[in-house]
Amino acid sequence: MTDFRQQALDYHAFPTPGKISIELTKSAETSKDLALAYSPGVAEPVRAIAENPEDVYRYTAKGNLVAVISNGTAILGLGNLGPMASKPVMEGKALLFKRFAGLDAIDIEVTHRTTQDFINTVANIADTFGGVNLEDIKAPECFEIEQALIERCDVPVFHDDQHGTAIVTAAGLLNALEIQGKQLAKVQIVCLGAGAAAIACMELLIKCGAQREHIYMLDSKGVIHTRREDLNEYKALFANNTDKRTLEEVITEADVFVGVSGPNLLPADALKLMADKPIVFACSNPDPEIKPELALAVRKDLIMATGRSDYPNQVNNVLCFPFMFRGALDVRARMINDEMKLAAVEAIRQLAKEPVPKDVLTAAGVDALEFGPDYIIPKPLDPRLRTRVSRAVAEAAVASGSARIELPKDYMAE
Ligand SMILES: NC(=O)C1=CN([C@@H]2O[C@H](COP(=O)(O)OP(=O)(O)OC[C@H]3O[C@@H](n4cnc5c(N)ncnc54)[C@H](OP(=O)(O)O)[C@@H]3O)[C@@H](O)[C@H]2O)C=CC1
Ligand SMILES: CC(=O)C(=O)O
Ligand SMILES: [Mg+2]
């Protein structure tokens, strides 16, 4: 067993199994405390909430509580390993919600037979939480699940692998294109993968200005084209009228490669075929579509990003999902709409252009970071992400009519 593998297992096992626990916010030391916390005192907020349902935000933890819900059908890039195997990732997301956004999050792993069973399970418990973060649910079921839950739930529902990934990809790509001197509306994009992350990334890039006909998408059977008869309705939206059938054919002279598929699927020889000053986002976790050292060895003019913490340019939804929910919950948004997503893209993107504080450099273990090929996107440990992205999201929720309350006074002032 490698050192790192053992370290990762020990990190999860000791001193307490898992990564999260529940703590009390009220004293429970005396008989008086218990009389207030439980019987008879608890009857008072019960009556208040029964009379005025909005009081649930005043007297319970709902407004700061997120459910992280999975069925384990697309765990990172490891595939369909089932609900229990997804639990460390879901606890990990809960850790990130707390660490970066101060939100309490609890993981829920659902065993189910049909897609409708899953939808019913989540819809029936959603009111417990301020928001629902869906995670690692494979395509195409994830699209039907998210849509049905958005319609049925009274709290924001957000499939992180779709929209969190798309927001961070769009922010990083717009900056990388600026550095390479290219425009989103003109570039040729190859997207390897046609699942949750891929479809959402490409749809958001189109909203940011990319041309649908400039995008070539590939799934495990190759290029998605109009003569294929095995496409689901989501892939069909990306079917090109083309004779190209292979990755090598579509990547020739392409400007951008976005990988949201699986490990080591981009051969170095294919990368050599890309246009001058290419951009490669190899975002599969834990192992990217191509290793940065291999990619940079064949293309010196490349801007390279992965989903991992141990290389420059981490394009990972952690830069976004804690703050999407922080902003949404703080104005009790009904849903997370396109305006809120685009506001997050812009906030993340602009932060990368600002000077980086010393404590962020120290946390990142580097001497300097400056907007450029090795710094296209903020570092996850940058505390300004919380203020900037949450504020942008909350303001967009208010402006677009999704918010149920006004922006709190001096919200996220720095
Ligand atoms: N960096 C980040 O923030 C994030 C990264 N990801 C990564 O993206 C990847 C996909 O996740 P997600 O979209 O949720 O999963 P899905 O299961 O929804 O989609 C996986 C997609 O990958 C395709 N695929 C699998 N093998 C190949 C192959 N050999 N060639 C081309 N395509 C292939 C599948 O093709 P088919 O449709 O034919 O089955 C499918 O379209 C994972 O590796 C995950 O770690 C996801 C979210 C966030
Ligand atoms: C980062 C993430 O959510 C994933 O790889 O699935
Ligand atoms: Mg995920």
Ligand 3 centroid – CA 243 distance (Å): 33
Q: Which of 86, 82, 160 is nearest to 319 (CA)?
A: 160
Q: What SS3 state is found at 69?
A: strand
Ligand 1 touching residue 228 (CB < 6 A): no
Active-site annotation holds for 341: no
Average pLDDT of the residues in 118-125: 98
Would you say residue 227 has pLDDT above 90?
Answer: yes
**Cis omega (within 30 of 0) on the bond before 140?**
yes
62 and 53 Cβ atoms separated by less than 8 Å: no
Asked if residue 93 is part of any domain, the answer here is no
Q: For residue 257, give every residue at least 6 positions away whose Cβ sits within 8 Å of its Cβ, in sequence order, or none.
A: 189, 190, 192, 251, 266, 271, 274, 278, 279, 280, 281, 282, 289
Mean pLDDT of 365-374: 97
With 80 as the cut, is the pLDDT of residue 375 above it? yes
d(CA 363, CA 351): 17
Q: How confident is the model at residue 1 (pLDDT cuts 50, 70, 90)?
A: low
Number of Cβ within 10 Å of residue 43's Cβ equals 10
- For residue 313, say whether it is annotated as part of any ligand binding site: no
State whether the Cα torsion 305-308-310-315 is positive or negative. Answer: positive
Q: Is residue 112 part of a domain?
A: no
Tell me the C-alpha to C-alpha distance, in Å, between residue 80 and each of 25, 288, 360.
37, 18, 36
How many separate domains does the chain show? Answer: 1
CB-side neighbour CA atoms (13 Å) of 129: 27
pLDDT digits (tens, 9 = 90+) for 27-55: 999 999 999 999 999 999 999 999 999 99
Q: Is residue 342 part of a domain?
A: yes
- Read off the pLDDT band of 2 (50, 70, 90): confident
- Which residue CA neighbors atom 4 of ligand 2 most closely? 76
Domain extent for 386: 319-400
- Say if 188 falls within a structural domain: no
- Please report whether residue 248 resides in a domain: no
Question: What average pLDDT score do residues 341-366 get?
Answer: 97
Q: Is-catalytic flag, 11?
A: no
Asked if the interface predicted TM-score (ipTM) of this complex is over 0.85, the answer is yes
Q: Per the domain annotation, does 173 fall within a domain? A: no
CA angle 117, 119, 121 (to 5 degrees): 65
Residue tagged active-site, from 19, 87, 93, 235: 93
Amino acid at 200: A
pLDDT average, residue stretch 165-169? 98
Does residue 189 have a pLDDT over 80?
Answer: yes
Let me know if residue 330 belongs to a domain.
yes
Q: Which of 160, 130, 123 is nearest to 321 (CA)?
A: 160
pTM above 0.80, yes or no: yes
> Per-residue pLDDT averaged across 260-268, rounded?
98
**Is the CB–ligand 1 distance for residue 71 below 6 Å?**
no
CA–CA dist 189, 238 (Å, integer)? 12
Q: Is residue 386 part of a domain?
A: yes
Give residue for tokens 């499939």.
159
